[in-house]
Structure 1
Amino acid sequence: MSTFMELGLNSNIIKALTDLGYENPTEIQSKSIPQVLNSKEDLKAFAQTGTGKTAAFSLPIIEQIDTKSKDTQAIILSPTRELAIQIAKNIAEFSKHIDGFRTAAVYGGSNIEEQIRKLKKGVHIVVGTPGRTVDLINRKQLKLSNVKWLVLDEADEMLNMGFKDELDKVLAVTPKEKQTLLFSATFPKEVESIAKNYMHKPVEISAGKKNVGADQVSHQFYVVSERNRYAALKRIADVNPNIYGIIFCRTRRETQEVADKLIKDGYSADALHGDLSQAQRDSVMGKFRKKNLQLLVATDVAARGLDVTDLTHVINHKLPDQIESYTHRSGRTGRAGKEGISIAIVTGREKGKLHPIERLIGKKFVSTSIPTGKEICQNQLLKLIDKVQDIKVNETEMADFLPSIYEKLKDLDREELIKRFVSLEFNTFLSYYENAPDLNDSDQMRGGSDSRGRRRNDENMSRFFINIGRKDRLNPARLIGLINEQQIAKNIEIGQIEILDTFSFFELDKNYTDETIAVFKENDVDFEGRNVNVEITEKKRSGRSGGRRSDGDRKRRDKNSKGDFSKFGRNRSNTKNAFSSANKSSKRRKR
């Protein structure tokens, strides 16, 4: 195994790494550091979350910085404030023994004048979010004309967040003769797009297999009915008394609602999402790092940059819309050689989403039963006994009180004392889970099939048509956001989503069918400059696309469905038939 000195780093950096407890470089560091030190070629590097990517790209840059110059020589872009702050902190630690070295983080939600003052003093490495970086460039306060290195960290996430225009503006003011470094934990198609647009014949380095889950992480899934999703989450937390984990949600609203419920139910929890101020986010993350919080409920973006090495669990309250995000989530646990558990809570209809994730991470999910009240009480009781065994008794301070305590308890024998002591601490759990129902729905566990193994139609969902699609830059995440923005109902369940070229379909709880139609109409919803129209439509039927038709009608419909789907969005007179044929044609296209 190589050492950091053998990789070509100077003694000042080695000393800082030793102070920080770094002993040997990780695989991604061993491969990346010599490449950046000895070559000016662009670099595309992939490694799992928690394997030291920040050190892999920052150490060789720090090694080559000219501290005699006040010019900004490297710009590192990251998708979130938290990640930018974390990277800048790491760089400051790595360079603390280098005289005259300066770095700064620039990001929104913080005083821009203070950031400008730092830049005017001269900063060698700037770490920034795309939006604030462009703002400073436009103000002519951040000059990148002498940049030698451009680092795109989590670049795929920056594109997902809509920062393409900002990336283009930053690239436009950097010199052509620079080294561009792209680091990512996943390898979605967006990364190839970035490499094509922003890099020149990049060298590719990979530590381990791309998109594969960490070896130390096991993957479990629990099948629930939608109404029992939160109850199952509570039981998972209760059956693991020493849990220290992140609960991932898809939206800011869902994140806050889950956190509020947990806090109300007495759990040590809090929320982390984009609607919080920077001061609030810093406070929440500080409490979580210090383990004053046991559970952090977060969105994917907010959790970027949260550097915690000893998480026991990652819980997917709902699976992410993009399967690559699952790798980011699960990579938060199982770090530094420790074991970790990644849990997915899914309904029977959502089980199919696990298969592409399994192919991505190269591992199988283990089907796990939702804990019963008896299992939870047993685990909590054993935790209590462990605490009693490990407690340190202060003999000196207690000595004066023991005679009166012995006197009060003299009529109780050993067994009675133990029972009463346990009951004092444990009655809450016993009473809560007394007669607790079994949340394991056998029908859900079969994936929503009937007794003959046929797929069951979910009669609790209504299917809707919406007149926007891929050509309007619609994707599942944006459609979910659009639905949530209408505030149809609190915690409304969203079912299957199907995005086509010029229109789409989605399912919602049928109890809110009328409200959904009315809200979209009353709100006069606009999306990407188009007026949004939502209508109720027939649900897809297994084995057939629509209602009863003759063979001739079905053949004509199939033939017509190969044409332009956009006509269905304009012609409402045959809407129901059009929906059916469009769905059938879409399936045929995918095959």
Structure 2
Amino acid sequence: MEESNEEVKTFKGLGVCDELVEACEKLGWRTPSKIQAEAIPHALEGKDLIGLAQTGSGKTGAFALPIVQALLQAPQAFFACVLSPTRELAIQIAEQFEALGSGIGLKCAVVVGGVDMMQQAVALAKRPHIVVGTPGRLVDHLSNTKGFSLRTLKYLVLDEADRLLNEDFEKPIDEILKAIPRERKTYLFSATMTKKVRKLQRACLRNPVKIEVASKYSTVDTLKQQYRFIPHKYKECYLVYILTEMSGSTSMVFTRTCDSTRLLALLLRNLGLRAIPISGQMSQAKRLGALNKFKAGECNILICTDVASRGLDIPSVDMVINYDIPTNSKDYIHRVGRTARAGRSGLAISLVDQYSLEWYLLIEKLIGKKLPEFPAQEEEVLLLLERVAEAKRISQMKIKEEGHKRKRRGDDVEEEDRFTLKNAKSLKKSKKR
């Protein structure tokens, strides 16, 4: 492969056609990322792919470019289907396909939960080239939408494949695999890949090329990572202190439960900080609204569950705070991958209390290094204690008032947040102990 080093510095050198090279330039993609440089030539040769790369490394482009190029050569409806574990990621993938295909009339349909089925059925009736969706909703359409089938499909992509091969998605994925042709190209892309070879074989990859452009579980070099060991009772105080110290920064704060996102966002807003929550308990419209406010800079602090740890392209995040340490250490990689993207620097701070020390040590073991401590004088932090306690009391009263209304509405918890709720229950049990 050495002799091709000069060539792979351009998309044209990888074999991408002129129309798409132009589309890449319009999107500001000057040179291919590592995963794109390695995956695109194999994909253009017609190979099945397993691509492992850090989050923020350009995986979407690595599968979208070969698919759009193949579509240009043989245009047809329902040419490719991309599956994603979360709605936001599905919407974002569709946006990238549409941007790449804007000059060639590419049509894309998004089929995800939380949005009117009829509206989606109308989009499918227009016979789009690309269908992007979450597995459950795609199965709903395959079963119930007249005239819709994927029998002529040429490409299947499983993005965030390790999560799609989880048991929660097992049944819908099986049904989708039965409904599509065996003769097709299949791409699996993910930041991490667990040992699910049997499930990968079931997904019908044929002699796939495996591309790994980073060590198995790594974070990018431009990311500064720190932790702070704190008593649980001062956790909110430390969060407010860090966010106040970094007041000009764009920050994402990860919590374990949907309820925490709401409480912390209210608490921070009561203290004059521009925070907004996003979680699986919110309607799809509210989630997208929150995301757009954050992207537009109206709010500079996004409080979120792991729903937001994968695939969301928010390019200007300066800092990630792990307010709750993830119980699955691989989720740490995805969370901190929201910052220090595309060569920029970033900061990740983990707040470790007496209940989460064990999980934090597993993270250090996974990334293979001991992290430095975030410097702060506790006396200085505790000057905020009274104000934070009062803001929390006001927030809890507001949530209590709204709780009855929400119960009457009967909001659903979405499939991608089940893990979060399970973790919350196990945490409560461990605290009681």
Give the TM-score taking structure 2 as reference length.
Answer: 0.85
Q: How many angstroms apart in 1 are the aligned matches of 2:248 and 2:419?
A: 35
- Match for residue 396 of structure 2? none
- Match for residue 202 of structure 1? 208
Query: Which string of whole-angstrom CA distances, capped at 9 and with x for unpartnered residues, describes residues 121-160 of structure 1?
Result: 2211111111111011002443111111110001222344
Q: How many angstroms apart in 1 are the aligned matches of 2:188 and 2:268?
A: 38
1:142–1:244 distance in 2 versus 1, CA, 3 Å: same
Q: Are the aligned partners of 1:67 and 1:101 in contact in 2 as well (CA < 8 Å)? A: no
| 1:26 correspondence with 2:33 | yes
Q: How many angstroms apart in 1 are the aligned matches of 2:143 and 2:224?
A: 47
Mapping 1:531-546, distance limit 5 Å: none
Mapping 1:100-499, distance limit 5 Å: 100-139=105-144, 140-160=146-166, 162-190=168-196, 192-198=197-203, 199-372=205-378, 479-482=422-425, 494=428
Q: Are the aligned partners of 1:274 and 1:302 in contact in 2 as well (CA < 8 Å)? A: no
> For 1:364, what is the secondary structure of its paired residue?
coil
Higher helix fraction (1 or 2): 2
Indicate which of 13, 17, 21 corresponds to 1:6: 13
Query: Which string of whole-angstrom CA distances, capped at 9 and with x for unpartnered residues, describes residues 166-202 of structure 1?
Result: 1001001111111111000112234x45323213342
Q: CA deviation at 1:81?
A: 1.1
Query: Which string of whole-angstrom CA distances, capped at 9 and with x for unpartnered residues, describes residues 511-554 of structure 1?
Result: xxxxxxxxxxxxxxxxxxxxxxxxxxxxxxxxxxxxxxxxxxxx
> For 1:288, what is the secondary structure of its paired residue?
helix
- Match for residue 466 of structure 1? none
Query: Which string of whole-angstrom CA distances, capped at 9 and with x for unpartnered residues, describes residues 396-424 of structure 1?
Result: xxxxxxxxxxxxxxxxxxxxxxxxxxxxx
1:254–1:159 distance in 2 versus 1, CA, 3 Å: farther
> For 1:209, what is the secondary structure of its paired residue?
coil
Q: How many angstroms apart in 2 are the aligned matches of 1:162 and 1:26?
A: 32
Query: Which string of whole-angstrom CA distances, capped at 9 and with x for unpartnered residues, describes residues 73-131 of structure 1?
Result: 11000011111110000011111122x42222111112222222222222111111111
Indicate which of 91, 101, 109 corresponds to 1:95: 101
Amino-acid identity (%): 36
Q: CA deviation at 1:31?
A: 0.6
Q: How many angstroms apart in 2 are the aligned matches of 1:371 and 1:54?
A: 43
- Match for residue 585 of structure 1? none
Greater Rg over alpha carbons, structure: 1
Q: CA deviation at 1:373?
A: 6.4
Indicate which of 49, 52, 58 corresponds to 2:58: 52
1:94–1:32 distance in 2 versus 1, CA, 3 Å: same
Q: How many angstroms apart in 2 are the aligned matches of 1:266 and 1:189?
A: 46
- Match for residue 567 of structure 1? none
Q: Are the aligned partners of 2:12 and 2:21 in contact in 1 as well (CA < 8 Å)? A: yes
Q: How many angstroms apart in 1 are the aligned matches of 2:101 and 2:419?
A: 43
Where does the alignment leave 5 or more consecutive residues of structure 2 unmatched?
A: 1-5, 389-417
Q: CA deviation at 1:210?
A: 1.8
1:110–1:476 distance in 2 versus 1, CA, 3 Å: closer
Give the counterpart letter for 1:6 in structure 2.
Answer: G
1:247–1:320 distance in 2 versus 1, CA, 3 Å: same
Matched residue count: 395
- Tell me how large the CA RMSD over aligned residues is: 2.5
| 1:72 correspondence with 2:73 | no
Q: How many angstroms apart in 2 are the aligned matches of 1:256 and 1:160?
A: 28
Q: Are the aligned partners of 1:15 and 1:97 in contact in 2 as well (CA < 8 Å)? A: no
Q: CA deviation at 1:481?
A: 4.6
Give the counterpart letter for 2:53 in structure 1.
Answer: A
Give the counterpart letter for 1:220 in structure 2.
Answer: Q
- Match for residue 379 of structure 1? none
Query: Which string of whole-angstrom CA distances, capped at 9 and with x for unpartnered residues, describes residues 347-376 of structure 1?
Result: 1453333333223224431122434565x8
Q: CA deviation at 1:46?
A: 0.6
Give the counterpart letter for 2:431 in structure 1.
Answer: L
Q: How many angstroms apart in 2 are the aligned matches of 1:298 and 1:108?
A: 19
- Match for residue 558 of structure 1? none
1:265–1:160 distance in 2 versus 1, CA, 3 Å: farther
Query: Which string of whole-angstrom CA distances, capped at 9 and with x for unpartnered residues, describes residues 485-518 of structure 1?
Result: xxxxxxxx73xxxxxxxxxxx43347xxxxxxxx
Give the counterpart letter for 2:324 in structure 1.
Answer: K
Q: How many angstroms apart in 2 are the aligned matches of 1:54 and 1:69?
A: 21
Runs of 4+, deviation exceeding 6 Å: 433-436
Q: Are the aligned partners of 1:155 and 1:194 in contact in 2 as well (CA < 8 Å)? A: no
Higher RCO, 1 or 2 (CA under 8 Å, sep at least 6)?
2
Q: Are the aligned partners of 1:285 and 1:306 in contact in 2 as well (CA < 8 Å)? A: no
- Match for residue 409 of structure 2? none
- Match for residue 431 of structure 2? 508
- Match for residue 62 of structure 1? 68
| 1:39 correspondence with 2:42 | no
Q: Are the aligned partners of 1:224 and 1:347 in contact in 2 as well (CA < 8 Å)? A: yes
Q: How many angstroms apart in 2 are the aligned matches of 1:142 and 1:324?
A: 37
Give the counterpart letter for 2:122 in structure 1.
Answer: R
Query: Which string of whole-angstrom CA distances, capped at 9 and with x for unpartnered residues, describes residues 5-56 of structure 1?
Result: 111111111111111111110100001111111133x211011111100000
Q: How many angstroms apart in 2 are the aligned matches of 1:174 and 1:215?
A: 41
> For 2:356, what is the secondary structure of its paired residue?
helix
1:477–1:113 distance in 2 versus 1, CA, 3 Å: closer
Q: How many angstroms apart in 2 are the aligned matches of 1:36 and 1:231?
A: 50
Give the counterpart letter for 1:47 in structure 2.
Answer: A
> For 1:180, what is the secondary structure of its paired residue?
strand
